[in-house]
Structure 1
Amino acid sequence: MRNMSTLSEVERSGCLKLLKLLSDVDLFSLCDTVTNKMIAAENVTEARETILSFSKNAEELLKRKKVHRDIIFKYLAKEGVFMSINIEKHQLVKRTLELWSTEMAAVKEHIQQGTDDSAERRRKRTEDDTSNVETDYDCETLILGQQFCSWFFQLLNSQNPLLGQQPQDWGPQHFWTDAKLRLFSSAGSEQMEEFVGAELVSCRLLALTKEERLHFSPNLEANGLKALTSPHGLVLVAVAGTIHRDSVCLGIFEQIFGLIRSPMDNNCWKIKFVKMIIRGQDSMIGTQTPAPALMYSSSDLLMLSTQ
């Protein structure tokens, strides 16, 4: 007997967007699972419609193994909901259901209150808001920025002997040969340092953790990180965070990276330039420090790519 779906129109629309992010292999496998192999879909469109028809509810579909954590993460990012890169799947499922519940409530509000003109104004405003989000936060680039910062600071912090970690593979190989570093620090006195060349840039950044024993805690939430692609293909990643030594918070930092793919190194991303600002503050021991927000606009970052 066929299971009748109880998906609302909002949930159905959201689930369809999610399914379009699946690979064809995972999509057809999910179709087999949902239908117990009773229906063989002939194409991806039929597979998606079959999955939606045979799913009892949205939560059941979201919890399916083939609907991977990264798929839900990417879907939420496309919808303008930016989550921590380390968040677990069950939390992403919960947030997605909350999003759809909010949208359903908004639809009911439209029906109860709106005239046609009012509804059209709301629709236009939503489209404008979505357009702005897409301009400032390209989903793929934002995810790249989060992944890069997570990798970079984990790698850099592992060099700090106070943390007792096995040092990871830090070195000039992660930078372009003509890489540049501009380091401005304001902790008591102001100081500006500039370095050119992969070896020098790598050594100066390494000294921050290995010799100065600093630990960097980046804010990878939406208000602490921005990433975009310049017209010339340079990916700009800006992040804010706090600086610690042992249990003491020493201050905050803002860091901007310029990334370019290297065709000579398996097309991996390498660092072209780094601009870093460190601001000291009164030391705080054993207290929760608010995650600093990033103040750069998209236009600010694009200007930096030409300097």
Structure 2
Amino acid sequence: MANMSGLSKTERAGCTNLLKLLSKADLLSLCDTVTNKMIVVENATEATETILSFSKNAEELLRRKKVSREVIFKYLVKEGVAMSPNSEKHQMVRRTLELWSSGKAVVGESRQAETNEIRQRPSTVMASVSTDMKDEVGFDPQVLGQQFCQWFFQLINSQNPSLAQQPQDWGPQHFWPDVKLRLLSRTGSEQMEEFLGAELVNLRLLALTREERLLLSPNLEPHGLKVLASPHGLVLVAVAGTIHRDTACLGIFEQVFGLIRSPLENNSWKIKFVNLKIRGQDALGGTEVAAPALTYNSAELQLLCS
């Protein structure tokens, strides 16, 4: 078989992971398109290898009709890349190519290596972030907020079976023992739930992605993320984002985290409380949800600090 592929090693590994998100029927159809039906394959593995071999470059493959906007969005979520689900396909293609050229994509064997590394880390929130910051007198709360959100949403989304991804190390160890969760949902009717304690909070949040199969996509732009630090060591991280199931956008969320360092666990940050508001599409009245903004103002967040 003549190998016409112009894919780099990183692009090849990235395309392999992305093609795993296609149904078998779409994968075989794509193989027929790429090879002009000149090659018959017997399974998904052969189809993937053939598609990669006969793709001139990564952009050509990403622009194929069977590689839909929804598939690329799901791939970017798996890689922890924040992207508006209402972005045009060409924007998602460009973002994916940027990811691969930056070398930051977790691909192939390195994905398993990263999973193993995560499992071997201390059971505390953001060990690497706290190590960088614990000795700094004036760390930047905004940087902490950005890094926390990237860590948290990649971690919780990895529990979603629809991503077909190795779940990362989620568990009660990331919360203070007396952590409190307030969950307000407006999806048809309004419902308020409260949970107290690391085990219950951990299980309720886990159910959002593992049982309910939701994907949470945070908006980490300035209008979607606010961070406040109190003099008493509490850092508030408030973030807005969109909620999805498979290819459907179900609504928006606003989530406020209270973070406090644990001096007994290498000064790592652990979650003290979580306030989560969910609004379904029916409660939005047709409002644009591409990149939702926070409705909390600084005064309301200051009250949570007290």
AA aligned to 1:206 is L
Q: Please name the residue that 1:196 is paired with.
A: 196
How much does 1:297 deviate? Answer: 1.9
> What whole-Å deviation, never above 9, does each CA across 1:175-217 have from its counterpart, x for those lacking one?
0000000000000111100000000000000000000000000
Q: Does the alignment pair 1:245 with 2:245?
A: yes
- 1:266 maps to 2:266: yes
Output the CA distance in 2 between the equivalents of 1:281 and 1:245. Answer: 13
d(CA) in 1 for partners of 2:211, 2:217: 17
User: Structure 2 matches for 1:59-70, cutoff 5 A?
Assistant: none
1:176 maps to what in 2?
176
Aligned CA RMSD, in angstroms, stands at 2.3
Q: Which residue of 2 aligns with 1:161?
A: 161
* SS, match of residue 168 in structure 1: coil
Q: Tell me the TM-score normalised to structure 1 length.
A: 0.53
Matches within 5 A, 1:1-307: 140-282=140-282, 289-306=289-306
CA deviation after TM superposition for structure 1 residue 171, in Å: 0.2
CA distance in 2, matches of 1:144, 1:207: 26
Residue of structure 2 in register with 1:50 after alignment: none
Task: State the shift of 1:299 in Å.
Answer: 1.7
Check 1:164–1:265 CA distance in 2 against 1; reply closer, same or farther (3 A cut).
same
Structure 1 segments unaligned to the other structure (5+ residues):
1-86, 92-137
Give, in angstroms, the shift of residue 289 of structure 1: 4.6
Q: What is the letter of the counterpart of residue 251 of structure 2?
A: G
Percent of aligned pairs with the same amino acid: 70
Structure 2-normalised TM-score? 0.53
Give, in whole Å, the separation in 2 of the partners of 1:239 and 1:180. 18
How many Å separate the matches in 2 of 1:226 and 1:198?
25
| Structure 2 contact 261–269 (Cα < 8 Å) conserved | yes
Match of 1:38 in 2: none
Q: For 1:289 and 1:301, locate their aligned partners in 2 and report how far apart those are by CA, in whole Å.
A: 22
Q: Which has the higher contact order (CA 8 A, sep 6+)?
A: 2
What is the one-letter code of the residue matched to 2:192?
Answer: M
8 A Cα contact 2:243 2:249, kept in partner: yes
Provide the rounded CA distance (Å) in 2 between the counterparts of 1:266 and 1:198. Answer: 19
SS of 2:223's equivalent in the other structure is coil
Q: Counterparts of 1:265 and 1:272 in 2: how far apart (Å)?
A: 15
Distance in 2, matches of 1:172 and 1:178, equals 11
Give the Å deviation of 1:273.
0.1
Cα offset, 1:167, TM superposition: 0.1
Q: CA deviation at 1:305?
A: 2.2
* Runs of 4 or more above 6 Å deviation: none
In 2: Cα distance, 1:176 partner to 1:139 partner: 22
Instruction: Say which SS state the counterpart of residue 151 (structure 1) adopts.
Output: helix
